[in-house]
Structure 1
Amino acid sequence: MKNNRKLTGSIVLVRGAGEQASGVGWALAKAGFRVLMTEVEQPLMVRWPVSFGTAVEEGKWSVEGLVARRVSSPEECPNVWGNGEIPILIDPDLNVLDLWQPEVLVDAILAKRNLGTQRQMAPLTIGLGPGFTAGEDVHLVIETNRGHDLGRIIASGTAEPNTGIPGNIAGYSRERVIYSPQAGVFRAQRQIGEKVAAGDVLGTIEGLNTPVLSPLDGVLRGLLRSGVRVGQQVKVGDIDPRGKVEYCWTISEKARAIGAAVVLSILEQRHSAEGNKTIICGVS
């Protein structure tokens, strides 16, 4: 379904355009904000079909009816917003801040540590997950750990620490995630959406042709694209034991919860700051 709605609200800059960041960008754009997402030149995205960052390679990419379009300069953003789309800019150092001065900055890289976001970068800064402290390097933190507190808005302190254990899905956590056995260039041999069995070869690491095997039965929900260079023990794929092929092509419940929490946090700050003209976070 084509989106003909112009994005005319406040500017929100989202660092990162992977799976969880895309859930945030999707929710913000649906709410009418002018979303600008920044990425690195070669992003690592396992669930690339539902990641706006796929536009880095493809030029444009659609997730659930919303299109992201790669731009070569920040001056192109107004035209993209005018088409109801999300601009994706290669700008890991956030040089775009000087031009657009966003009302809100969301660090959605999910690196488990702060890669340079500072509270003074925008009137409202939000960090996703561990690595940020609300009230110090950002204004707010959103809990990203699966469970009862997923999506909780934290105004003081930190999110739950990184456990290194993937969230539980249908009784599986660490077992469902696939990591590279060695460093090298990944070559995919299966496609996202396929049903696989434990022990199936999903791809290889070029060089020694080390196979990457499926750890269990299920649907291949995520897999890096061929030609991506990875380090040792880097996430290259994941298996969904629920066996629902349709889940491969839609935003996950986790990304939706985080996206909704970001929208709520912005609106909440807007209402609490009414009358204070230094923070304008609402949709015009």
Structure 2
Amino acid sequence: HLFAPIGLDIGAKTPSEIAVSVVSELMAIYNKTSKKSLRDKSENLIIVRGAGDLASATILRLHNAGYRVLSLEIEKPTTIRRTVSYSTAMVRGEMSIEGVMCKRVESVEEAKSVMDNSMIAILHDPAGVSIKKLHPAVVVDAIIAKKNLGTTIDMAPLVIALGPGFIAKKDCHIVVETMRGHYLGTIIRQGSAIANTGEPGEIGGESVRRVLHSPYAGLFMSDKHIGDIVTIGEVIATVGEKEITATLSGVIRGLLANNIEIPVGFKIGDIDPRGDVKSCSTVSDKGRAIAGAVLEAVDAFHSGRAL
């Protein structure tokens, strides 16, 4: 159905200009596009490197705030908290977190189409090649590698990095603190985040024991699932022929996917002593704090505040 008056407001006056105006609106309706300028789309685009649980919390918050988000990931992610990580879409093809869908795409063009349909896109692009093609307003390094894996301050007008391994004003414009505690979610405009201590943050009174690292090298396999309740000493996985047992009782909050070859010391799981099964499928308090800081920095940037 067409309704008069029709046509986009481009200041058309002559018959030929009015024809362009009408055709423009008809094409927008036919192709189901937003009618926004391509420049607006570029300014509204945020590329996030990584799609683990903290990256996904950030991606989700940015998407819900109205931004177009493209995530870049490796082909075979080794994410632990897979039920709240968009990296799972690299294997499944799609992943929904708190009702928001992310779809794997194979090209920049497909990514644009997915984002045009109000979804998050994820692309195999660990080197960030698509950043130069898309010219996003914002790039967020959310790999959480505790070191810089190639992010530079000239990748976008605003570059944000999560956690240690980055220096604000050198590697990026802003660093966000990821260490649990008083400073979690702090926006750092000069300097770095707190250095990696090697010890996980405390949850339910447990720190080191709640995170599982394999003492063996080999093929990881498990018949357990995220959300399962386990007791201390219970076998939860094997690496090669060796058994890995639970270091405490609680709910399995994170677990490595099967059929992955791992080295000694590799992180394979996370047990939450609080035993809250529902928390396994929702964004964590830590994730929300970090995501909120990123959104604050992005909104401040778009409002014209100095970096």
Please give the TM-score of this superposition, normalised by the length of structure 2: 0.85
Q: Does 1:218 align with 2:253?
A: no
Q: Which runs of 5+ in 2 are unaligned?
A: 1-33
Q: Does 1:65 align with 2:99?
A: yes
Picking from 221, 224, 229, the partner of 1:190 is 224
Partner Cα distance (1:149, 1:140) in 2: 15
Alpha-carbon RMSD: 1.7
Partner Cα distance (1:75, 1:270) in 2: 25
Q: Check the 8 A contact 2:78/2:257 in 1, yes or no.
A: no
Picking from 237, 252, 259, the partner of 2:284 is 252
Structure 2: which amino acid aligns with 1:194? D
Q: Does 1:262 align with 2:294?
A: yes
Q: Check the 8 A contact 1:189/1:201 in 2, yes or no.
A: no
The Cα shift of 1:74 comes to 0.9
Q: Tell me the secondary structure at the aligned position of residue 221 of structure 1.
A: strand
Q: Check the 8 A contact 2:46/2:138 in 1, yes or no.
A: yes
Question: 1:143-154 residue pairs with structure 2 within 5 A?
Answer: 143-154=177-188
Partner Cα distance (1:181, 1:67) in 2: 36
Q: Which residue of 2 aligns with 1:282?
A: none
Q: Check the 8 A contact 1:181/1:210 in 2, yes or no.
A: no
Q: Tell me the secondary structure at the aligned position of residue 45 of structure 1.
A: coil
Picking from 96, 101, 111, the partner of 2:135 is 101
Q: Check the 8 A contact 2:226/2:254 in 1, yes or no.
A: yes
Partner Cα distance (1:233, 1:77) in 2: 36
Greater helix share, 1 or 2?
2
Structure 2: which amino acid aligns with 1:214? A
1:150-189 Cα shifts (integer Å, max 9, x gaps): 0000000000000000000011001100011112211012
Partner Cα distance (1:229, 1:251) in 2: 28
Picking from 81, 103, 113, the partner of 2:115 is 81
Q: Check the 8 A contact 1:189/1:202 in 2, yes or no.
A: yes
Q: Does 1:174 align with 2:208?
A: yes
The Cα shift of 1:77 comes to 1.4
Q: Tell me the secondary structure at the aligned position of residue 133 of structure 2.
A: helix
Partner Cα distance (1:70, 1:229) in 2: 24
Partner Cα distance (1:220, 1:93) in 2: 32
Structure 1: which amino acid aligns with 2:260? V
Q: Does 1:13 align with 2:13?
A: no
Picking from 154, 168, 171, the partner of 1:137 is 171
**Higher relative contact order, structure no. (Cα contacts within 8 Å, ≥ 6 residues apart):** 1
The Cα shift of 1:273 comes to 3.9
Partner Cα distance (2:304, 2:66) in 1: 20
The Cα shift of 1:190 comes to 1.1
The Cα shift of 1:269 comes to 2.1
The Cα shift of 1:271 comes to 2.5
What percent identity do the matched residue pairs reach?
Answer: 45
Structure 2: which amino acid aligns with 1:198? I
Structure 1: which amino acid aligns with 2:56? S
1:95-131 Cα shifts (integer Å, max 9, x gaps): 1022101100000000000000000010000010000
Please give the TM-score of this superposition, normalised by the length of structure 1: 0.92
Which consecutive aligned stretches of 4+ in structure 1 deviate over 6 angstroms post-superposition? none
1:83-106 Cα shifts (integer Å, max 9, x gaps): 211111000111102210110000
Q: Which runs of 5+ in 1 are unaligned?
A: 1-5, 280-284
Q: Does 1:161 align with 2:161?
A: no
Q: Check the 8 A contact 2:132/2:155 in 1, yes or no.
A: no
Q: Check the 8 A contact 2:223/2:237 in 1, yes or no.
A: yes
Structure 2: which amino acid aligns with 1:259? A
Q: Tell me the secondary structure at the aligned position of residue 303 of structure 2.
A: helix
Q: Which residue of 1 aligns with 2:74?
A: 40
